[in-house]
Amino acid sequence: MPRRANNKRRIRLSPKLPKRKAVDIYPREVLQIGRNEPCPCGSGMKYKHCHEDAGESFLRRVAKKRVKEERARSTGTPLPWYKRLFTKV
């Protein structure tokens, strides 16, 4: 009876496989907001009365939007006119 423990298959990868693209890795950001602080959406209301029900998903979207705006500023890409009205220079 042949032994199966020594009969392992070896998979050979083809050298013709496509190479993976380089990916920028950066830490994930989620805003830390207290309940009584103003809501980051800009409504002027407290966070607990405005978007607390939306939870962490809302905070992730806001953080992602801020990261995109910071990258646009750092790369020199101009912001649209309507965003330039409300940003501090």
Total number of domains in the chain? 1
* Residue 11 belongs to some domain of the structure: no
Adjacent-strand bridge partners of 46: 38
Higher pLDDT, 2 or 73: 73
Higher per-residue pLDDT: 7 or 19: 19
Selection from 38, 66, 68 nearest residue 51 by Cα? 38
Higher pLDDT: 81 or 50? It is 50
Answer whether residue 22 is part of any domain.
no
pLDDT tens digits, one per residue of 13-61: 666 666 666 666 666 667 788 889 998 888 889 989 998 888 888 888 8
Q: Cα separation of 9 and 57, whole Å? A: 44
**Amino acid identity at 31:** L
**In-domain check, residue 15:** no
The mean per-residue pLDDT over the stretch 4-15 comes to 60
Question: Is residue 38 included in any domain, yes or no?
Answer: yes
83 vs 29, more confident: 83
Closest by alpha carbon to 40, among 65, 18, 16?
A: 65
* Any domain includes 19: no
Domain containing residue 76:
28-89
Q: How far is CA 76 from CA 2, 71, 72, 87, 89, in A?
A: 67, 8, 6, 15, 13
Q: Is the pLDDT reported for residue 62 higher than 70?
A: yes
Query: One-letter amino acid identity for 25?
Result: I
Instruction: Please report whether residue 4 resides in a domain.
Output: no
